[in-house]
Structure 1
């Protein structure tokens, strides 16, 4: 992993104060381990055209409305 990238990501996220020190350390370790899947800018998010999602919803089920 790139330590500079990890540092940049950690500066942009807010780790809640309700976590224990151990939990905070785990979050930071996860960020370091998976730094390549975090984005620090929308410019890094590229569109893809090979994934399609299909939701199979039972038409008899009443869905909540706003």
Structure 2
């Protein structure tokens, strides 16, 4: 899986982002497990997954309405 660009994430719906976030968290867990057991083939993938998770969380927080706004 190639690195996901922010432009690709912006066009996805909130539900799609939530699904992708859960998949990435599962992949991150598996990569950490592989690293701990010495079976990790692509160590750079951990960094890519971590950064993509951060991009998704940033988009999700930006899309949330700010509490008290408009009041």
Question: TM-score scaled by structure 1?
Answer: 0.29
The structure with the larger Rg is 1
Question: TM-score scaled by structure 2?
Answer: 0.27
Q: As a proportion of its length, which structure holds more helix?
A: 2
